[in-house]
Amino acid sequence: MIRVGLTGGYATGKSFVAAEFERLGCRVIYADKLGHEVLLRSGEANIPVQVLFGSKVLSANGDIDRKALAEIVFQNPDLLQRLTAIIHPAVYRLEQHLVEQYVKADPRAIIFTEAAILIETGRYKTFDRLVVTYCSEETQIARGMKRDHLTRQEILDRLARQMPAAEKRRYANYVVNTDRQKDETAAQVRVIFEELRAFASQ
């Protein structure tokens, strides 16, 4: 079994690349999806978050309103830190449970974790290999405007708050340029997959 981190900046094609690795037979854990799961009523973080924030983060049907939660914490660094201290350990435990299941099914599994800030949090150090996606800023802007219906300036503001793409690439074992056509991106993924498969078989 090998663990692989997959990360990259905003709108750099992480989801497409993750899906391609999954199509080739890799197991992919999506950190954002786990973040959603731990906030569900059955999730480990649900009650602690309600205790911390109260009813103002609940929707009409009693679920945690992630948008309302985000609006509160991004205006308050202290609350953001306290929320992170609740959610991240819960996500990590859920991730570890999935890893155990995948390894039990296949001891030579290639297991990816796709997440936006693996480098910034230092989690990249826990993986055997790190894949970083990147593309030009203009491509990021075009994708963001189309996908998220943001203005050019809103995307530029978001990019300004992220680690620069060139710096992210310095941490990578493998880099995937997603500026190209999807079939060309998929070809890059295939080359990396073959190297990872050989590594996993050692």
Residues 102 and 145 placed together within one structural domain of the fold: no
Residues 120 and 96 placed together within one structural domain of the fold: no
> Could you read off the pLDDT of 158-169 as tens digits, one per residue?
899 899 999 999
In a domain, 34, yes or no: no
Distance (Å, rounded) from C-alpha 8 to C-alpha 176? 9
| pLDDT tier, 75 (very low <50, low <70, confident <90, very high otherwise) | confident
What's residue 145's pLDDT?
A: 96
In a domain, 71, yes or no: yes
Contacts made by residues 156-165, CB under 8 angstroms, sequence distance 24+: 158/10, 159/9, 159/10, 162/9, 162/10, 163/9, 163/119, 163/120, 165/8, 165/9, 165/12, 165/134, 165/137
What's residue 137's pLDDT?
A: 95
> Could you read off the pLDDT of 141-150 as tens digits, one per residue?
999 999 999 9
Residues 66 and 119 placed together within one structural domain of the fold: no
Q: Quote the domain boundaries for residue 83.
A: 39-108
| pLDDT tier, 49 (very low <50, low <70, confident <90, very high otherwise) | very high
> What is the distance, to the nearest Å, from the Cα of residue 41 to the centroid of all Cα atoms in its chain?
22
Residues 103 and 115 placed together within one structural domain of the fold: no
What's residue 201's pLDDT?
A: 86
Residues 118 and 99 placed together within one structural domain of the fold: no
What's residue 60's pLDDT?
A: 87
> Could you read off the pLDDT of 13-44 as tens digits, one per residue?
999 999 999 999 999 999 999 999 999 999 99
Measured from the Cβ of residue 75, the count of other Cβ atoms closer than 10 Å reads 9
β pairing state of 2-8 and 174-177: unpaired
* Residue finishing a domain among 52, 82, 108: 108
Residues 75 and 158 placed together within one structural domain of the fold: no
**What CATH number should be reported for the domain holding residue 159?**
3.40.50.300
Residues 127 and 183 placed together within one structural domain of the fold: yes
Residues 125 and 195 placed together within one structural domain of the fold: yes
- Do 25 and 109 contact (CB within 8 A), yes or no? no
In a domain, 31, yes or no: no
* Residue finishing a domain among 70, 92, 108: 108
In a domain, 102, yes or no: yes
Residues 179 and 91 placed together within one structural domain of the fold: no
> Could you read off the pLDDT of 83-132 as tens digits, one per residue?
999 999 999 999 999 999 999 999 999 999 999 889 999 999 999 999 99
Amino acid occupying residue 177: N
| pLDDT tier, 179 (very low <50, low <70, confident <90, very high otherwise) | very high
Residues 15 and 115 placed together within one structural domain of the fold: yes
Residues 79 and 172 placed together within one structural domain of the fold: no
Distance (Å, rounded) from C-alpha 88 to C-alpha 77? 16
| pLDDT tier, 151 (very low <50, low <70, confident <90, very high otherwise) | very high
What's residue 169's pLDDT?
A: 96
In a domain, 33, yes or no: no
* Residue finishing a domain among 56, 76, 108: 108
Ordered strands of the 129-134 beta sheet? 27-30, 110-114, 2-8, 129-134, 174-177
Residue 198 has pLDDT above 90, yes or no: yes
In a domain, 61, yes or no: yes
**Number of domains present in the structure of the chain:** 2
Query: Structure pTM?
Result: 0.91
What's residue 5's pLDDT?
A: 98
Residues 21 and 114 placed together within one structural domain of the fold: yes
